[in-house]
Amino acid sequence: MSTILTDGTRPPLTLLSDEEQMFQEAVRDFATSEIAPRVARMDEAQEMDADLIPQLFELGLMGIEIPERFGGTESSFFTSVLVVEELSRVDPAVAVLVDVQNTLVINALARWGSDEQKERFFPPLARETVGAYALSEAGSGSDAFALTCRAEQDGDEWVLNGQKLWITNGAEAELFIVFATMDPDAGYKGITAFLVEADTSGFTVGKKEDKLGIRASSTTELILENCRVPAANVLGEAGKGYKVAIETLNEGRIGIGAQMVGLAQGALDHTLRYVQEREQFGRPIGKFQGVQFQLADMATDIEAARLLVYNAARLKDAGEDFLVPAAMAKLHSSRIAQTVSSTCIDLHGGYGFTREYPVEKLYRDAKIGTIYEGTTNMQLQTIAKLLLR
């Protein structure tokens, strides 16, 4: 069980191992002491605190599944999910930086990378290099493979030309997984994934988006103009990039589910404290049954979403089919994050509508959960297709 205590915390879950509990508690302590004091400032400035990222590496949060021989933590995908959840309770913007690093970039490299690529890229990814995942374009969102970014082979190099949009970690990353097509008429069969380093000639990080939420997380465009990438940097096989994208995004959706669960829990934590301090009609508003019922509903919804996320992550680690569980986890968690954060603002009253209280930011942050790494409609379609099959 994970009953919520009156101070907004939860006792260790019995379904976590001792190692997982220790890691979870360490991340929670770090988020509270190091991230929380920076949240409002980073949100206002729309940038990550430069001193924070090295600390994420030092704590081992940026290479969770990387083997120890490469400098990583050599832990499980489930551990990555726990980390994302805990960070999201304090700041979902920091959490998504860690999430993309682990559930997308490192996962893709672990599954599809050659031994030489792992030897080359895993050590810096564990120690100091932020990664990014560059699939989306202006005309390819939910239709992920409608790519126009071109890849043409020239001897032992590939030449990339095109533009990418909505790239998380774009401003901080030094390694990008870039998807491009060898032949637009070939559809998904023309897609290839490339490992592109930020200092590659012809590669430029463009405009940073001014966003509604997760504002400290950079979201940028990428510009590739005759960007030459060695053939050794093809991730997987040429023409098989669609497999890299599909399988990685299925895993990434679990990470976003964890982000939304953590966000909702953070909003509820703040609200549990507030309703015991705020008095109306001579007593704390938490004493009113109407308020208590709303708290109970939110706690139940969050726990249901958490268990969906944990189940999907456990299935992934066990090598079982997790496509539908991942879609359900992402779908339900993103919905709950919006409804919970909205209700928490209601319970804060006028104060909740101001930036004086953190629930306002979490409400803004929640919206992205229904959009990135597969919209709500795409999750519904995935679930329905497999049910009907």
- For the cut 90, the answer to whether the pLDDT of residue 351 exceeds it is yes
> What radius of gyration do the chain's Cα atoms show?
21
User: Nearest CA to 2 among 24, 31, 23?
Assistant: 24
pLDDT band at residue 142 under the 50/70/90 scheme: confident
Q: How would DSSP label each residue in 353-377?
A: GSTTSTHHHHHHHHGGGGTTTS-HH
Task: Say whether pTM exceeds 0.85.
Answer: yes
Predicted confidence band of residue 249 (pLDDT cuts 50, 70, 90)? very high
Residue 2 has pLDDT above 60, yes or no: no
**pLDDT (average), residues 363-374:** 97
pLDDT digits (tens, 9 = 90+) for 328-338: 999 999 999 99
* Burial class of residue 34 (count of CB atoms within 10 Å of its CB; 0-12, 13-18, 19+): middle
Name the 3-class secondary structure at 126. helix
Give the whole-angstrom CA distance, residue 80 versus residue 313. 9
What pLDDT is attached to residue 186?
85
For residue 230, is pLDDT > 70? yes
pLDDT at residue 9, as a whole number: 53
pLDDT of 19 reads 85
Give the pair of three-digit tokens for residue 381. 């379609």
CB atoms within 10 A of CB 156: 8
Instruction: Give residue 3's pLDDT.
Output: 43
Strand partners, 235: 193
E strands in 21-156? 131-134, 150-154
Residue 316 has pLDDT above 60, yes or no: yes
Greater model confidence, 188 or 182:
182
Residues acting as catalytic residues: 373
Overall residue count recorded for the chain in this entry: 389
Alpha-carbon distances, residue 247 vs 111, 112, 250, 377 (angstroms):
9, 10, 5, 19
Asked if pLDDT for residue 299 goes beyond 90, the answer is yes
Eight-class DSSP state of 285: G
pLDDT of residue 287: 98
Chain mean pLDDT for the chain: 94
Range name among 132-146, 200-214, 220-234, 360-374 with the lowest pLDDT average:
132-146
Measure CA 187 to chain center: 27
Asked if 214 and 189 touch (Cβ cutoff 8 Å), the reply is no
* 7 has a pLDDT exceeding 90: no
pLDDT tens, residue by residue, 268-287: 999 999 999 999 999 999 99
More confident residue, 82 or 187: 82
What tens digit of pLDDT does each residue of 183-227 get?
988 888 899 999 999 999 999 999 999 999 999 999 999 999 999
Cα–Cα distance for residue pair 106/66, rounded to 1 Å: 7
- Specify the pLDDT at position 140: 85
Which amino acid is present at 85?
Answer: E
Residue 13 has what DSSP assignment? P
3 state DSSP class of 179: strand
Confidence at 5, pLDDT banded by 50, 70, 90: very low
pLDDT-based confidence at residue 10 (cuts at 50, 70, 90): low
pLDDT of res. 17 = 85
CB 36 within 8 A of CB 90: yes
The tokens describing 59, both together, are 């704590």
Q: Which whole number is the average pLDDT over 352-375?
A: 96
pLDDT at 318 over 80: yes
* Residue type, position 89, single letter: R
pLDDT digits (tens, 9 = 90+) for 34-54: 999 999 999 999 999 999 999
Considering only 21-25, 218-222, 255-259, 348-352, which range has the smallest mean pLDDT? 21-25
Classify each residue of 215-229 as buried b or exposed e, where b means 16 or more C-beta atoms within 10 Å of its C-beta: bbbbbbbbbbeebeb
- Is residue 186 within 8 Å of 252, Cβ to Cβ? no
Q: Tell me the average pLDDT across 94-123.
A: 98
Nearest to 1 by CA among 303, 263, 274, 218: 303
Pairing type for strands 157-168 and 219-230 reads: antiparallel
Is pLDDT above 60 for 319? yes
Q: Which domains does the chain have, with CATH numbers?
A: 18-130 (1.10.540.10), 132-241 (2.40.110.10), 243-388 (1.20.140.10)
| Tens of pLDDT, residues 123-134 | 999 999 999 999
**Among the residues of 91-226, which ranges form H helices?**
92-99, 107-112, 115-127
Nearest to 99 by CA among 207, 253, 240: 253
* Single-letter amino acid, residue 360: E
Look at residues 227, 241, 240, 225 and name the one whose alpha carbon lies nearest to residue 158: 227
pLDDT surpassing 90 at residue 146:
no
